[in-house]
Amino acid sequence: MTSDRRVVLGLATIVLITCALTPALRPDQTCRVSKVTVAGTSMAPRYADGQRIVVSSGGAKCAEPFRRGEAVVLTTNSHVLPLIKALRGLPGDDFSMQADQIVVNGRVLINSEGLPYRLSMARVGMLNVYARDYQGVIPPDTFLVMGEVPSGSTDSSVFGLVSRDAIIGRALDP
Q: How far does Cα 99 stand from its chain's mean position?
A: 23
- Contact between 171 and 73 (Cβ < 8 Å): yes
* pLDDT(21) > 60: no
Q: What is the pLDDT of residues 124-174, one digit of tens each?
A: 999 999 999 999 999 999 999 999 999 989 999 999 999 999 998 899 976
Cα distances (angstroms) measured from residue 153 to each of 1, 10, 113: 32, 9, 15
- Give the predicted TM-score (pTM) of the model: 0.83
What pLDDT, in 10s, does the model give residues 104-137? 999 999 999 999 999 999 999 999 999 999 999 9
In this predicted structure, the answer to whether residue 45 has a pLDDT above a threshold of 70 is: yes
The kind and range of the H/E element at 89 are: strand 79-89
- Of 37-51, 58-72, 85-99, the poorest mean pLDDT is in 37-51
Q: Are 85 and 72 in contact (CB under 8 A)?
A: yes
